[in-house]
Amino acid sequence: MDRRRFLTRAAAAAACPVCAAALAPGRPAGAAEAGGWSYGGATGPTAWGTLDPAWRTCTAGERQSPVDLSGATPSMMATPDIDWPAMPLVIANTGNTIAVEATAYATMGLGLEGARYRMTGFHFHHPSEHTVEGRGFPLEIHFMHEDELGGGFAIAAVFVRSGALNPTLQTIFQAMPAQAGERLSLPTLIPPRRLLPPDDERESFRYQGSLTRPPCTEAVRWLVFTHPIEAAPEQIEAFARLFPMNARPVQPLGRRYLLLDFF
């Protein structure tokens, strides 16, 4: 979708919050996530690659995510240019996570070549999918972006540790639907930027990987912030009650570079 069409949709969504769900790009309205995969048992992560021929990469791929983030090589990259405006809250229980959809034009620019990616939404994992030197966090947030020219993804990941109450997460978690397939559209404005570590703590791991759910597509530029944000224990528990376990286990890093960016 080009920028003008997206903006037209976003404008329509802003004018009619209830319509936003139907207008949100790329997702079936209302239904639970199709596909029959899960995080445990016969349809769990070790079986994903055999459940559907289109998901073979989940097993056969060599650049899979998540990974354990250790032994990173210090590097330097231009600060990611994050432009995420506040947006009306459209929130869905997909059956596998709580997903917040991007209802405004939000972008992230990465690297010196200035590649820009458009946010499609963000969602949560409990516990974290990535680990740092073998240690995980209670939650991980994935801010999903697609290449504006098509074909590639960039995901910014933020760890959440137990600590102070997080007001932005509170707004989101108070609205999260308990039933798979449920979707809500609220006029409440959500500022996704407030879910990032502070500006002076934007150090991040960077590597090339995949989507962490089927079809496990290997076209993802990962940016994982080293500094976690905080959420109160009761906020983490509220999410964990709905999703006791929605994290794919770590995959081998193999021959990939793992970089640690200082800005």
Query: In this complex, which beta carbon is closest to Zn ion, that of residue 107 or of residue 246?
Result: 246
Compute the distance between CA of residue 123 and CA of residue 144 in angstroms, rounded to an integer. Answer: 8
Q: In whole angstroms, how close is the CB of 211 to Zn ion at the nearest point?
A: 8
Query: In this complex, which beta carbon is closest to Zn ion, that of residue 72 or of residue 141?
Result: 141
> In 8-79, where do the E strands start and end?
68-69, 73-75
What Å distances lie between residue 220 and 5, 152, 190, CA to CA?
24, 6, 25
Compute the distance between CA of residue 18 and CA of residue 188 in angstroms, rounded to an integer. Answer: 12
Structure tokens at 71: 């032994």
Query: In this complex, which beta carbon is closest to Zn ion, that of residue 142 or of residue 221?
Result: 142
Binding footprint of Zn ion on the chain (CB under 5 A): 142
Query: In this complex, which beta carbon is closest to Zn ion, that of residue 104 or of residue 124?
Result: 124
Query: In this complex, which beta carbon is closest to Zn ion, that of residue 94 or of residue 107?
Result: 94
Cβ neighbours around 104 below 10 Å, total: 19
Query: In this complex, which beta carbon is closest to Zn ion, that of residue 9 or of residue 127?
Result: 127
Structure tokens at 203: 């150090």
Q: In whole angstroms, how close is the CB of 127 to Zn ion at the nearest point?
A: 12
153-176 b/e with 16+ CB inside 10 Å = b? bbbbbbbbebeeebeebebbbebb
Q: Does residue 215 have a cis peptide bond before it, meaning omega lies within 30 degrees of 0?
A: yes
Structure tokens at 223: 């940016």
Query: In this complex, which beta carbon is closest to Zn ion, that of residue 10 or of residue 216?
Result: 216
Q: How many CA atoms lie within 13 A of 238 on its CB side?
A: 18
Q: In whole angstroms, how close is the CB of 214 to Zn ion at the nearest point?
A: 12
What Å distances lie between residue 166 and 94, 109, 190, 191, 202, CA to CA?
23, 26, 13, 12, 18
CA angle 236, 239, 242 (to 5 degrees): 145
